[in-house]
Structure 1
């Protein structure tokens, strides 16, 4: 009989393997997963076989690789449907899109990353759209970095100690530069990004907090870089902060974010 400790370890390993598919956009092989997770190929193969049997993964004999299956898609769709953050953010996103004319999004925090939960697209012919349900790293893009900025120092340093992927020429991967950017984002309560995660795109984001005061996501405004200029981002900032604050309040947060403090202070000058 398997002990509870061994059962927990097995479950953790299975979860780690499945989560690898959320971090990648392509099919994965046994060797690749084993190398990334540090597990043996035998363990990885056994886990993958189980997931194929229950429909969470599909196996491609021609390439000997695995990809997410229909059961995983069902779980993902259901997770979006029942997400409290997505539900309470919907009206705020609609108002934010109307106020700015650009696409408004909400992201949820994941361990070491984030995922887009919803978007209200711009009505303009040329616009930005995001991929819902795909995991993104925290060091690139305004939504990720504003979440990272509000994590603990230990959590920040853990991420900064790892290799950081350069997605575009503008992706910030130098740890010291990131530390400076994180301090600025935390003080201002908003974060701006220009072509860091996607070429030609620009965005500005503000954090969303839960009832316990911990950051749980971000609301952003995104569009083509030529429209998301510094002046445009400054114009959008008040509406963005108001939307993020509205979502945080709906989730039970009763504190005051840095951007709200800055806006109040500016109004008193």
Structure 2
């Protein structure tokens, strides 16, 4: 009987967390009916668990739609934690291994609106290395992780982006919308993106996406180096290490 109660408690927690995740992932207030359908639980169970989560402030009922949204308690917990601390900790070991395999700088970045933000960087022992990019907000069209992000855009999103003027950072920056669209199509096929002197004439880089278990893009892993050492040939030669690191980080996000 005691074991049965413990198993029941674990199941209840599991189900409550599943509902909390569904509420958090929903773009609009979500109804009990939709929660029951998406979770596979009966409505009575959903009502009971939702009531508990609401009592603790983790979800709130929208007064207009009567659907549910994340509550203040959930937002407070998220605000108290370092924004990217967990992601950095889970990626660090894979980043260090990738740095050892390539002997170049390894970056971890996250997608932002019309740009990317570098949140961690590990440099090699070499005295000549790339710039320090942590906390740097970088454009999409002339960075390898930016091109990866562009490859995930819908057709409408991409059309809107390409209608905006693209700044030329170096003589090699792709500013022609047609050429950039062709570049993005290559990224879709290859699963990675490169930059050869497009952000900084002296630097080359390569990036791959990191997806969570719901196949949501959460980050990018990149390798960068000075062009005299990290040549285009060497950039392409490190793809297998880059993909392995991306897969390993994704597994640690499960």
TM-score range, shorter chain: 0.5 to 0.7
Question: What is the rounded CA distance, in whole Å, between the counterparts of 2:233 and 2:140 in structure 1?
Answer: 25
Deviation, structure 1 residue 152: 2.5
Partner of 2:106: 104
1:79 matched to 2:68? The reply is no
* Aligned with residue 249 of structure 1, among 225, 248, 251: 251
Question: What is the rounded CA distance, in whole Å, between the counterparts of 1:137 and 1:211 in structure 2?
Answer: 27
TM-score by length of 1: 0.61
Partner of 2:171: 169
Deviation, structure 1 residue 112: 1.4
Preserved CA contact (<8 Å) 2:107 2:120:
yes
Partner of 2:129: 127
Deviation, structure 1 residue 200: 0.6
Partner of 2:225: 223
Question: What is the rounded CA distance, in whole Å, between the counterparts of 1:95 and 1:210 in structure 2?
Answer: 20
CA 1:91–1:129: 2 relative to 1, 3 Å: farther
State the secondary structure of the residue aligned to 1:178: helix
Preserved CA contact (<8 Å) 1:116 1:130:
no
* Aligned with residue 236 of structure 1, among 235, 238, 241: 238
1:93 matched to 2:95? The reply is yes
Q: Deviations over 1:29-62 (max 9, x none)?
A: xxxxxxxxxxxxxxxxxxxxxxxxxxxxxxxxxx
Runs of 4+ with >6 A deviation:
none
- Extract unaligned runs of 5+ from structure 1: 1-74, 253-269
Q: CA RMSD in A?
A: 1.8
Preserved CA contact (<8 Å) 2:211 2:219:
yes
Question: What is the rounded CA distance, in whole Å, between the counterparts of 1:225 and 1:150 in structure 2?
Answer: 28
Q: Deviations over 1:242-267 (max 9, x none)?
A: 11121222223xxxxxxxxxxxxxxx
Question: What is the rounded CA distance, in whole Å, between the counterparts of 1:151 and 1:111 in structure 2?
Answer: 11
CA 1:213–1:105: 2 relative to 1, 3 Å: same
Question: What is the rounded CA distance, in whole Å, between the counterparts of 1:177 and 1:130 in structure 2?
Answer: 29
Instruction: Please list, as runs of the form range in 1=range in 2, the aligned pairs for 1:155-194 lying within 5 A after superposition.
Output: 155-194=157-196
Question: What is the rounded CA distance, in whole Å, between the counterparts of 1:210 and 1:203 in structure 2?
Answer: 23
Q: Deviations over 1:94-125 (max 9, x none)?
A: 00000000001111001111100101101111
Partner of 2:117: 115
Preserved CA contact (<8 Å) 2:194 2:207:
yes
State the secondary structure of the residue aligned to 1:173: coil
- Extract unaligned runs of 5+ from structure 2: 1-78
Preserved CA contact (<8 Å) 1:114 1:217:
no
Preserved CA contact (<8 Å) 2:211 2:217:
yes
Deviation, structure 1 residue 150: 2.4
Partner of 1:204: 206
Question: What is the rounded CA distance, in whole Å, between the counterparts of 1:240 and 1:224 in structure 2?
Answer: 18
